[in-house]
Amino acid sequence: MAIEILKDKCIGCGQCFKACPYDAFEFEAYDGNKLGKVAKVNAKCSFCNQCLTACKFGAIQEKKQEAAVDLSEYKHIWVFAEQRQGKIQNVALELIGEGKRLAKDISEDTQLCAVLIGNNIDHLAQECFEYGAEKVYMVQDPLLENFTTDGYTKVMKQLIDEYKPEIVLYGATHIGRDFAPRIAARCNTGLTADCTHLDVKVSKYIEFAKANTTLDTSTLDPNDPSTGIKQTRPAFGGNLMATIICPKTRPQMSTVRPGVMQKQERVPGATGEVVNVKPDIKASDIRIEIKDIVKSMKEMVSLTDAKIICSGGRGLGDASGFELIQKFADKVGGVVGSSRAAVDAGWIDHSHQVGQTGTTVKPEIYFACGISGAIQHLAGMQTSNCIVAINKDPDAPIMEVADYAIVGDLYKVIPEIIAEWDNAEALYDATTK
């Protein structure tokens, strides 16, 4: 879908200028009306359709795509390697690993490419190579020093138009969720948000569906050679899983939750090709001026990077129970997580929530304290390397996925674990002196 100006109806009144939130209109000369000008749509248009209702003369309409997209022109898999202040975000490295797997499933000729946007970030290409990227598209400009929706959207669209990737993956971060939909709109393609699973081979998707869903896979052909991406994400509050495909347009685009995919083992010294791209961008393209970046005084929780997470749920009884959970986390060197029930009750901030509607995590050890284990919570932590569940109810769903299930009162069990942790530390210190 695109926007089309009907010149014979446009009177050059400028009402579309006022209605457009993206400054996507400009005038061009036209001798067919009294003002000698008509509106023209530029590349900033995100197809929000605000202009259609604002125009009282029927001079703006949707323009349907006339020709089918030649899918064969689009090749390779791209990962937007999100960086902040010169540091690649962990989700980008996870996606490079996942993209590498998908590329192998498509063909031997399919490359995994990382896209770096910023300024003075040459050093980050090496990190992308060491985690599996074969090629890095490097876009640098002082105007791209800090993320802005306008700037990053424009240069990413330029890259896609020039190099035509088949698949583009973004982390479902604040940045990814901000500009990925805008790129999809400008590319006239689809975007599946907050994905938790990706497949390109039909046979592998069938295996996933049989193991994790109630989907009837009898109608699917495991020998189907198609390699369009199957994008699975939670829907309806996490009560069902939806798999979405994009068969008619390119690139296929997904945002993927942090902590879901597995990073490849780092290969120090790995090399690849760097493609330096000069962006066509000027200051007037960016409507926001960043004066300063101020870190919030609010305590930030990094659940995705934590090796140990101590989570509390409704079984804590009230908000004061998280004092014990915090003490527990401090002792074992972990961070505090929570179930949705605890967040909904107002006992703890949403930034601590683990699950489909919170953060998906994959720590070395996950302590589930007083958490029953609703399917939405399990989906966000069940890939943890070791799960320890503490619950009074032996039949709680969390007990079925736990590597160690402790039936008992968490207010008695956790202090005992802390005491034993102290004993273990003392024993370690004694034996290493």
For the chain, the domains span 2-63, 71-285, 308-432
Contact status, residue 117 vs residue 144, Cβ threshold 8 Å: yes
Structure tokens at 85: 């202040």
Contact status, residue 412 vs residue 392, Cβ threshold 8 Å: no
Q: Tell me the three state secondary structure of residue 324.
A: helix
What is the spatial distance between Cα 8 and Cα 58, in angstroms, rounded to a whole number?
A: 10
Domain 308-432 in this protein, CATH class: alpha beta
What is the spatial distance between Cα 132 and Cα 154, in angstroms, rounded to a whole number?
A: 27
Enumerate residues 6+ apart whose C-beta is below 8 A from 108. none
Which H or E run includes 84?
strand 83-84
Q: Tell me the three state secondary structure of residue 20.
A: coil
Task: Give 71-285's CATH code, choosing from 3.40.30.10, 3.20.20.300, 3.30.70.580, 3.40.50.620.
Answer: 3.40.50.620
CATH of span 2-63:
3.30.70.20
List of the chain residues with pLDDT < 70: 1, 64-67, 237-239, 295-301, 425-433
Q: What are phi and psi of 263, to 5 degrees?
A: -65, 145
Q: What angle do CA 374, 378, 381 make, to 5 degrees?
A: 145
One-letter identity of residue 225: P
Q: Tell me the three state secondary structure of residue 135.
A: strand
Interaxial angle between packed helices 149-163 and 174-186, expressed in degrees from 0 to 180 and rounded to the nearest 10: 50
What is the spatial distance between Cα 264 and Cα 152, in angstroms, rounded to a whole number?
A: 27
Strand duo 60-63 + 2-5: pairing:
antiparallel
255 closest CA partner among 90, 91, 87, 45? 91
Interaxial angle between packed helices 410-432 and 321-332, expressed in degrees from 0 to 180 and rounded to the nearest 10: 20
Structure tokens at 414: 């956790």
Enumerate residues 6+ apart whose C-beta is below 8 A from 315. 369, 370, 371, 372, 391, 392, 410
- Number of residues assigned to the chain: 433
One-letter identity of residue 24: A
> Residue 27 burial by CB count (10 A; 0-12/13-18/19+): exposed, middle or buried?
middle
Longest dimension (CA), the chain: 93
What is the spatial distance between Cα 186 and Cα 41, in angstroms, rounded to a whole number?
A: 12
105 closest CA partner among 186, 15, 205? 205
Same fold, 71-285 and 308-432: yes
pLDDT at 49: 84
- Residue with structure tokens 């010149």? 7
What is the spatial distance between Cα 382 and Cα 365, in angstroms, rounded to a whole number?
A: 11
CB atoms within 10 A of CB 344: 13
Q: Provide Rg for the chain, Cα atoms.
A: 25
What is the spatial distance between Cα 360 and Cα 170, in angstroms, rounded to a whole number?
A: 16
| Number of Cα atoms under 13 Å in the Cβ half of residue 201 | 13
